[in-house]
Structure 1
Amino acid sequence: MALITGCVVINGKVVDQLAVTDRALAYGDGLFETMPVTGGRIVLLDYHLARLTKGCHALGFCSQQIVLIADEIQRIVADMPSEPFILKLILSRGSGGRGYRPPIEAQYRRVFQCLPMVDYGVEQGGISVFQCQTRLPEAFALAGLKHLNRLPQVLAKQEWHDDAIAEGIMLDGQGYVVEGTQSNVFWLRNNTLYTSSLKRCGVAGVMRQLIIEKLAKKFNYDVVFEEIYYRQLYHVEAVFVCNSLMRICPVDCLLDTDKRLPIELNSSGHPVVAQLQHALIDIYPQ
């Protein structure tokens, strides 16, 4: 099949509609991944599939879906034009009657969307972020997963409309920094990388995993999981946010909840941040 940007593929077939009885619509019963495709391949595919596997286990999805997804990904990428694009996957438990209890025999739907690539302007230097008022609810069984229940992020995204602010930092119920609305957060002190443990809430991003498992080890940086209040970020050496699309994006300005009291950092000029950014050149094909 010849695919184009904007097409939707469900269970291997190009379609233009989804059943309104799908549990993803009714209950958010599913998982999703947003994957950059460049140079004819998905960057960090193994990390995306590993997170999906954990999500399937947590939600009680059949692990065979991962095999089907991996096969369909390869076919979709092969049938798309060579230009970079975003491949979004939604894995739903499918339709299954009324009520929260899942059907015994799930009718899984693997929904792929081919979307235009987004330019986050990461080459333009550091960004400004602010503290969101919307808090992330604790959900230990779902912590780390990229599940479909994203209403806290939806509410947080409505808190600002200023294009000069690139991201909002979200806290948990105790006021500790967890993540950005669409990214993970790292901060630095004395050549040590710090980030949230995500034990109570938040998404374990694939870029976060790459930094922890490979890049930090490559450059002999320790990684410490820390609970920190937003205002404590004012006193660190550098802050950056990351995901598989924006990659590693240094934060040069921290704003408070009212988008006032700007605290200037030099994250974009920090040698550790620059080193981590440069290391991605070999991972992301041009």
Structure 2
Amino acid sequence: MASKSLKPPKQPPKNPKKQWSLNDFEIGKPLGKGKFGRVYLAREVKSGFIVALKVIFKEQIEKYRLHHQLKREMEIQTSLRHPNVLRLYGWFHDEERIYLILEYAHGGELYRELRKTGRLSEKQAAIYIASLTQALAYCHEKHVIHRDIKPENLLLDHEGRLKIADFGWSVQSRSKRHTMCGTLDYLAPEMVENKAHDYAVDNWTLGILCYEFLYGVPPFEAERQTDTFRRIMKVDLSFPSTPDVSAEAKDLISQLLVKDSSKRLSLQKIMEHPWVIKNVTSHDTII
């Protein structure tokens, strides 16, 4: 696929009732590989629109009994329309595979950027946190809890705009949930303790990410899994002397990493926090 094709038309192919097939796409380079399949750059032949095609092997879905989870993920992500949430345009399948037609995020995983730079500036961290906060506020209004926000699940588009991806652990519910899920370093205390949880688990993760953006590592990281669990349950939070991080950033993190989920800073209060206001101006593209 020629490089000039990377500038797609502004509008994705619009035909929700269309029966897609592999013949509708030109397949390009691989973009990534996961436990259940691979992701490829692709171009819809008729419109020339560039997408990411996620190929999932049915054999793996059957082996791990993930039919319900995948169906829920697809239904939730298709219903969401927000500039900071990766779009799922549609899907189709053949005998062996399921294909998800996803928005293409040219910048790749935020995880890669973070590993390359080590840590982010306070301004860049605040822009990402503001973007995430607005996206999660939209999700929560739709009664969607993501439950697995981490740098690997955050993508960047060609303008550097952040996109929440991978809704594999998400759930749409008005009531509290009991399934322990997500990724260890990002789990809220109520999940670690197998207690009921709600939207506040996503707010906790914003505190974890803010810390990781500024210090380069998650706050409760430990060599042994059991030690990480213990540190999360105790909220064993400390701020190293280096790198130099502002008092406002530490205050925001401290108000999010609170064991009592009802006392965590709300998403609205995050946007009103002095650290966000100081670092995110009207000229910054956060949506």
Instruction: Please say whether Structure 1 and Structure 2 have the same fold, judged by a TM-score greater than 0.5.
Output: no
TM range (shorter): 0.3 to 0.5
Tell me the TM-score normalised to structure 2 length.
Answer: 0.33
Q: Which structure has the highest strand share of the two? A: 1
Tell me the TM-score normalised to structure 1 length.
Answer: 0.33
